[in-house]
Every structure is written in structure tokens, then in C-alpha cells.
Amino acid sequence: MKFPSICRLAIAVLVFQASSSHAAEPQVLGKALHRFEIGSLIAQDNFANLDQWMVQVEDKASEPQPRVEARDGWLDCYLPSRGATIWFKEKLPTRTTISYEVVCPEGDRAVKGLSARDINNFWLANDPAGGSLFDSAAYTGKFASYDKITGYYASTGGGRAGDANRTIRLRRYPREIEGQRTNHLFLNNRDEDRAHLIRPNEVMTVQLVAYDDLLQYIVDGKVVYELEYGDQGQIESPSAGEEARVLPAIYSEDRFPFYREGYFGFRMVGTHHRYRNFRVHELTPASSGTLTVQSVEELRQAVKQSHRHIRMAPGTHVITELENGTNAIHFTGSHNEIDLTGVKFEVPVSTLRKMEKQRRSDQAVFQLDGDHLTLLGLEIENTYPSGKSEITDFGSYNQHPELHPNRQIVTLRANGDDTTLRGLRLTVRGSSPYGYGNMYGIGGGAVVRLKKHSGILAKGDRAVIDDCRVKMEAFGHAIFFQGGDDILVQNCHVEGELRPSNDLYEEKGEGDFARHFNYQLQWPKEVRGVPIPRDHMINLSEDGIRAYPGTKHVTVKNCRVDKMRAGVKLYLARSAEVTDCVVTDCVVQGYSLPSRGKMVRCAGNAAYGPLLYIHSDFHNNQHIDLTVLPATKSLGDHPLVALKGSKNHIHLHAGQGLSATPPRPIILGYKMRFDFLSTDYPAAPRDFADHFAKYAPDHYRAEGNTLINDTPFPVILGEQARKNTVKSRGPVTNLAKNP
């Protein structure tokens, strides 16, 4: 539809009055001073077309018809009597500022449902269920259809007397959860404030800031609203059948965790807007807050402060003393970015032995207790006396206490929320027992004293572990979680060490563990007394990426785990997604997920242990897309996959060059402990027969699962398999009593 002639004339005048297309630079104002600086330009649009935008306009039959188009360097939105949201297609992170210019023409008062009103914005917005904000069936352009999204919202009302909306708001969405109105953060003390209302026919500049917890809504260089943790705010609380109540509330991270990323959208209703010079800049910690340190002692003092950008001069430092008898460095400040690029800390095992005992089960060499900490680029390596690095005589190693810590420790523990670890390199050494995997115990019931040594432990919400490398040469986990929600691990590589089981029979020394326990397994009790299996591989470390109870959602992307006990082991998390990962040469299992877990485009081999294990009968509705890779070497009599639970969907693809040699089975529903599963199933493996008779649960059921096996490996439906759907390239054997 064409505009009425009076509208065209008004627009022509506007373009003349605001002919300059030079974009105003975003500003650092208010609470942002000394906290961040404007960084580089990371996104922009001069509106030559709409290629970067998704348009959602409310569907109404009324005239005149709407129009959204890009022309002459402007985004022109003509929306009489209807709402619209126009989404920028690129997802944006926090620590960014969005700026643009906008004109709200008065237009023709005779046009129904059109006035200079509602400069509204969504930013860092997402669909709460993981769907797309660009789904126009779910998000229709009608304002209420966006009530369920997560994100921030800022608005400026019309400046003309009688305009339908003269409110000025800042909100933290969602306003609705599962169809029910919910409390949400809400500021409205600028409503009807003429100094902050729209000025029709004039170019106005808008700037939105999200820097972790700090939110700012800036119009024409004036801060309209700003809020950071600890500030007094308020919530809008729904009340049945009545107007919503507004109640005071402290803006805090436990109640209102900040959003890390999301989409920006122009939001309008019943108006005509023209936008130009859309820009997104990154925000970097203020240089005035940068503190450069030269020594370990200076760093120890610097990380006690908050809201600082701390940089350490590159170099190698040998840490021989602890700062408090417990930690090498204790990070207690918050809101810090600590750049240790080019810095290496060598921590001798002799230093680890000085760590005093604490009540916590895991003492940390480097302990991060602050919130909103970013640690960049650090390399940490444990060293043995006399430069020793590779352990070959495990019997002797475990008899020399000077080569391992006095108790269980972790190299780096992040206790706070919103921790980012990026670009770290860890070489973890020093533990006991080392060289025997699980066979002498991993926790309660261990027959030797455990002095484990793990890599990275995250306990807080919204931890990000990115581009980290962990080389495990100790018995412990590489990366693991004990609690926390919305955890992201991406672009990481974990590698452990392995040992052939036959080597244990060469331990002849009087104090060697293998000889001491008569070359028999000691843990768990179900296998105690069984001879150490020959022609198997022993993991020397624990799990690559592991979640413990209390952990909520975990996302793992583009990671690789090699030669660990387990690769990506997340079955104890509440929910998990694993994408584009590779696991090779692990001994007990490659992958495991919780109920409703998702695995997409992942791969791995079963060289020394099963590639996939569904742990419990109650695990259900997993969606697994997994490619089986060939193994260059292989030991052991383990299966390829062990499945139980219900309504899981598993699709196994064949990697290039894959052959079913040896023919490791895919087993569904088995009356047998996981330890007893083998290529001889349903028979128990050699030397396990007596134990099998005693320890063979009757409830490992697989029911209602779908398996698509595009590999040549055989499928066995065990005694506990019920109503499963199997499509298999390899042969299928049905042992189920009630298939």
C-alpha cells in the first residue's frame, strides 16, 4: 500500500531535516563509568535491504495495510492499528551496547490507529523452550504473544497529549510461564515524564546496554533507567481479577540472573517509525580499571579487589609457597577479568603437599570464590622432583608419598556464579593410587587411601569453560560439576593416559599394589576377588566431562575427550545437550545422558570400552545421534552399546572404514550388571561366573525404545527387552521373554 500524500510530504520534510546519516557514537554513562569502555563494532545495518531482519506483523484485515521495508538507508515501518516485532537475525552476547536513530512521524491524524508512540525494544531475548523467536506461528506480532520469552524490554511512550501509551518502562522477561502470569522485574517511575517521552518528527538516539548484571536504557544521551545488582527495584506481581501489584524488590543475581545472550528486536504498535544507523558494539573492561601485575604476590593481592581488569605480564612462575596454607591463589573479588595470557604457573608436587586440610572434600590449588569472574589464558603444570614427568613404574610410584599430595585436591575450583574460564591449559600430575583405574575404589569402600587430583571443578550457575585443554596424568576428573545450572563447556580437549592390564602382572615388588592384592580386583564388591582381566586397557584417570547430583542443565559443544575412564558423562545432571563432540579410547563408557538428554552429530569409538551407556531403567526420552568410528587398536570383550530405560531414540551411524571386528554387540534390556556385559552375552565373561550368579539384578529393562542401527554390529534384545523398535544393518538376536 502507498502512503497518503500528506504522509509522503511529512517524510520528505523529515529526511531533509535529518539528512546526515552519520551514526552517533554510543556513550559510557552513569553506573557504567569506570566499569567498561566502548569496544569494536561487531554488527551493523544501514538498511539497504531486510536480509538481516525477520519481520512479524500482527495479522489484521483493517485498512490501511502495513508496510515494513528498507530504503534510502532507513528501515521504514508503517503499522496502523497493529503490532509488530522486527528481529535482528544475529544472536548477540552480553557485554554489548545496541544503538540506533529513530524518527516517529506524526503523520495524518485521520488515519485510524496511527500515532507517534512506542519506541520499544527487546534485547538478549530467547524462546524459553529452545525454539525460535522467528517462528511466526508462535510469535505473531501481537504483544501478548511475547509474554513468555526471556530477555529485557525497554520502552518509550508517545509525546502527544492523548496518545494511548505514555509509559516509559524497563522490564526483565518473562511475564508469563506456562500460560500463567508471573512476577517479573519492572521499572516504571518515568511514566508520563515529558522529558523522556517521544518527540514526534525529530531524530532520537536510543542506546541499550547489557554488561553482565548492569542494564541501561539511554535516550538522546540521557540515562532513562539503569540497574545493577544490589539496587532497589520492583516487581510487577499479577493479581487474579485485579490490576497487577507493584512491589519493592532488590535486583540480585539469585533472583534475577542476568541473560548471557539473545536477540534484539524493534517493537512497535499502532505507529510509524523510521530507523537508521543500527550498530552493535562490544563492551570491554575500562582501561582506567586495568591493573598490571608482575609477580604472583601482586596477583594474589589484585584478585581480592572487584570490578577490575587485571593483566599479568607474560612469564613462567614457580609457585613454592601457599598464600594461606591452603591455596596457591585465592580469588575473592567479583566482577573481574583476569588476563593471564602468556603466563605459566609451575606448581611442584612438593607445594601440593603443603596444603592444609580443610573440611571440604576437594581442596583447590587455585580457588575462585567471587562471582562474575573471567580467567583467560593461564597455563598450569604440576612438576615432579628432578624434572620427572612420565610414570612407567607404577608400583614404585605409589610407594613414594613425595610424588603425590597428602589428600584429595583439585587444581582449579570455581565456586561462584557466572565464571568464565577461557584458553586455560592444565597438565595435572600427582595422585595415589595411580595406574590402576577403579580397581581399588573411587570413594566409599575403597581399599586404599584415595588421594585423587582433578582438573577443573565448577559449582556455580552459568559457568562457561571455553577453549580449555586438560592433560590428565593423575587419578581424578578433568572437568566436572557439583551443582550449578546453565553450564556451558565448548571447544575443549581432554586427554588422559592408559595402561594395558597385562602390565599389572609384572608388578613383583613387595609393596606393589597388584601383588599386594594378589592380582585381583577389589572394587566394587560385586567383582572383588576376580582376577585382573587380561588383554584389557586400564584408565589411569577418571572422567573427561562429568556432572554430579545437584547439577541442572549442562551444554557441551565441540569437545574432544581421549583415553579417560568416561568421555562425556552427564547422566546425573537434570538435563543435558551434547553437540559435535568426539570421544575416543575411553575405558568404561564414552557417553551417557540424563532423561530427555540430546546428543547431536557426535562420534566416538569403542576401542577399550562401550561407546554409549544408558544408566538406569528410569532414563527416558533421550535423543541420540551418534557415529561409530573405527578404532586403530582395540582390547577387551566389552559391548559396543548397553541400553536400558524407555522411549529413548538412538540412531547409530557408521563412520568411514568401520567394520564389525570384533563383533561388539548392541545390547538392550539385560539381566546382568554392566560390569558383566561382554561379547559373549548372554554368558558371563571369563572368571565372572560365580559373581554373576550372585550379582545379577532382574530389572535392567529396556522398553519402548527406538534403535536405528546403521552399523554392521549385531543387536541383541536381552531378556528384559520389551516392545522396542529396531531397524538394523547388523544381525538381530531376540532373547526377550515378552518381546
pLDDT, tens digit, 9 for 90 and up, residues 210-235: 999 999 999 998 899 999 998 999 99
| C-alpha dihedral sign at 600, 212, 37, 199 | positive
What residues does CATH 2.160.20.10 cover in the chain? 287-502+535-575
What residues does CATH 2.60.120.200 cover in the chain? 5-19+27-285
Q: Which amino acid is at 26?
A: P
Q: What is the pLDDT of residue 726?
A: 98
Q: What is the pLDDT of residue 31?
A: 86
pLDDT digits (tens, 9 = 90+) for 533-562: 999 999 999 999 999 999 999 999 999 999
Q: Is 231 helix (H, G, I), strand (E, B) or coil?
A: coil
Residues, the chain = 739
Burial class (CB in 10 A: 0-12, 13-18, 19+), 596: middle
**Grid cell for residue 189:** 517511575
Q: What is the pLDDT of residue 7?
A: 38
- In this structure, the number of other CB atoms found within 10 A of the CB of residue 725 comes to 10
How is domain 5-19+27-285 classified at the architecture level of CATH?
Answer: Sandwich (2.60)
Residues (pLDDT < 50) of the chain are 1-20
CA 448, CA 588: separation in Å to the nearest integer? 21
Q: What is the pLDDT of residue 486?
A: 92
Q: What is the pLDDT of residue 583?
A: 99
Q: What is the pLDDT of residue 624?
A: 99
Q: What is the pLDDT of residue 165?
A: 72
- 74-88 and 53-57: which strand pairing? antiparallel
**Grid cell for residue 5:** 500524500
Q: What is the CATH number that goes with domain 287-502+535-575?
A: 2.160.20.10
